[in-house]
Structure 1
Amino acid sequence: MTSGTLTELSESSASTPDFTEQPYVINGASDLLVELFGEKGRHSRCAMSVNSLPLNICVEVELIAEVEQ
């Protein structure tokens, strides 16, 4: 059986210079991971603003997890 812990969630938002609420964008993903995995779903976070993202997407999310067997 495999188990693990989520360690970090990073988010990049394609934003205009006057948008400063990037942390709120990542809240939905953070809340869902804690709801699904409980304490093992708690993680550090990083929210960033960028001018553009590949393929004109608006948000990119990266998750890092430690996996144990």
Structure 2
Amino acid sequence: MVQHSTVEFEERSSKMITLSEDLRHNIAEMYNKMTIEQMRKEFPNFNWLLFFNTIFQYKYQDIK
């Protein structure tokens, strides 16, 4: 299950890289702003809190 979510995440990410140059210049077309909660729902098997706490100095807390 984790592997499937990770692969899906990587596939979606790679599509941004392979967009045509015209689309890459249109930030609104590429940008998909999401909250951590939305990301959790979209990719439930990825530990987003651990990810963001690892790469950023600010420590996000789990709010339920």
TM-score, normalised relative to structure 2: 0.30
TM-score between both structures, scaled by the size of structure 1: 0.28
Decide which structure has greater helix share: 2
